[in-house]
Amino acid sequence: MINSKIVDYIFSSASIQRWNDYPRMVDLVELDKQAHKFIIAFFIAKHETDVNYTNLIEAGIFEFLRRVVVTDIRPDVFRKALQKKGKEINSWVLNKLESTLIEIDNGSFFQKFKDYLEDDSSYTKERFILKAASYLATKWEFGIVYQTSQFLNDIDEVKKEVDAEIEDYYELIGVRKIALNKKLAKVIDLSGRLRFQKRWAQTPRIPETSVLGHMLTVALFGYFYSVKINACPKRLQNNFFVALFHDLPEALTRDIISPVKYSVDELADIIAEYEVVQIEDKIMPYIPHNLKEEFSYLLGLDNHNFKDEFENKIRENGKIKVVDDMQRYNLDRYDAIDGKALKQCDKLSAFIEASLSISHGIKSKELMQGKKQIMAGLQSIGEINFKEIAQTIDEEFGTTGVTQTRMEL
């Protein structure tokens, strides 16, 4: 499904600083920007027609991977470099990533990546939506940077440039709504604020990851899982977007760590009930009317307004059903969601967060215990053994021996 090399690339983006030539009140990193970009792209796309959502997801992943490889070039310089030396840059990126990606989907994923970089005429609408989403995510970040940089003599010039660029995307209805600070802008702002909530907040960790960045890592794992099981297009898309939004309510409830959430009787149920109330009061009123039903489904709300995004679900005859054998429903018309597999992707992401930090020398008691508990909860879903994936990644990071030694003590 995935290997340690691609995991390393994905999580390295949590250490790539953005706007690092300006004073910032908080760290702004590439992983969070990419997560926010995907969320914005989803809402922009839902205001358009003739969008291929699999293409949108894959194009976003391709651009993310390219950006992670080309880490040291400022975004504005990077855009200009691509205009003049795009072929050479893309060739270098492909050479760097080939060994990492070639095993995924028997080489098909790497071939699509290669075709995307070499043919600018492909994914035309999806590329444009992603460019607009990238700009809006950058503009949101700049709002933070501007607050702490007004003493710099060139900051107002930068602000003019940032503000002016929005005109390039006004043909997109979603961009206009966000620019005019309509209801949709509130959802974009709410999701962006998840970068301020750090994962594993009770312990130091390297690299730090936010709730927003975590949402994207789970979505990426959900995509690669879907590819591995040969999911139909709608099922793949649902899996990606369910994972991408799975922690959105935490912008309202804050991140409550699992040991606390599940160790107190009925606390998890109370939190789930409160999340539903908060979703209905502070998220759904700002979702476009024609998207409310679909978005509720992606957030995990069922026919009775109970929230569980990690159940295997389909929609049939207008009703949401919980099912066991997902392969029976591997057709677009069932609108399937592999909730149990996405829960494993969520756990796998948390395991990697702990394992990576330990590999960097941060070996707190909380990380060691958390890693052990998460490993115990990993299991197989169909042919995919998530525990085995975690063990392989752990060995590659060189933390298995460290973990065993600590636990023996």
Residue 301 pairs in a beta bridge with 307
Q: Provide the CB-side half-sphere exposure for 173 (13 A, CA).
A: 9
The whole-angstrom separation of Cα 277 and Cα 283 is: 10
Indicate the helix (H) or strand (E) that contains 259: helix 258-263
Instruction: State which amino acid sits at residue 392.
Output: T
The predicted structure's pLDDT at residue 343: 97
**Which two three-digit tokens encode residue 391?**
């063990």
Instruction: Give the pair of three-digit tokens for residue 121.
Output: 């005429």
Burial annotation 250-265 (CB, 10 A radius, 16+ → b, else e): bbbeebebbeeeeeee
Fold of domain 4-196:
Hypothetical protein af1432 (1.10.3210)
- The structure tokens 């998840």 sit at 194
What confidence score (pLDDT) does residue 266 get? 59
Q: Given the DSSP bridges, would you call strands 312-316 and 319-322 parallel, antiparallel or unpaired?
A: antiparallel
Domain ranges of the chain: 4-196
The pLDDT tens digits along the chain (409 residues) read 888 999 999 999 999 999 988 999 999 999 999 999 999 999 999 999 999 999 999 999 999 999 999 876 776 777 777 778 888 889 999 999 999 999 999 999 999 999 999 998 999 999 999 999 999 999 999 999 999 999 999 999 999 999 999 999 999 999 999 999 889 999 999 999 999 999 998 889 999 999 999 999 999 999 999 999 999 999 999 999 999 999 998 877 765 555 444 445 556 667 777 778 888 888 999 999 999 999 999 998 876 567 788 999 999 988 999 999 999 999 999 999 999 999 999 999 999 999 999 998 888 888 999 999 999 999 999 999 999 999 999 998 876 544 333 333 2
pLDDT at 78: 73
Residue found by looking up tokens 């490889």 in the block: 69
pTM, two decimal places: 0.92
The confidence score (pLDDT) of residue 408 equals 30
Contacts of 235 (CB under 8 A, 6+ apart): 226, 329, 330, 332, 334, 336, 337, 338
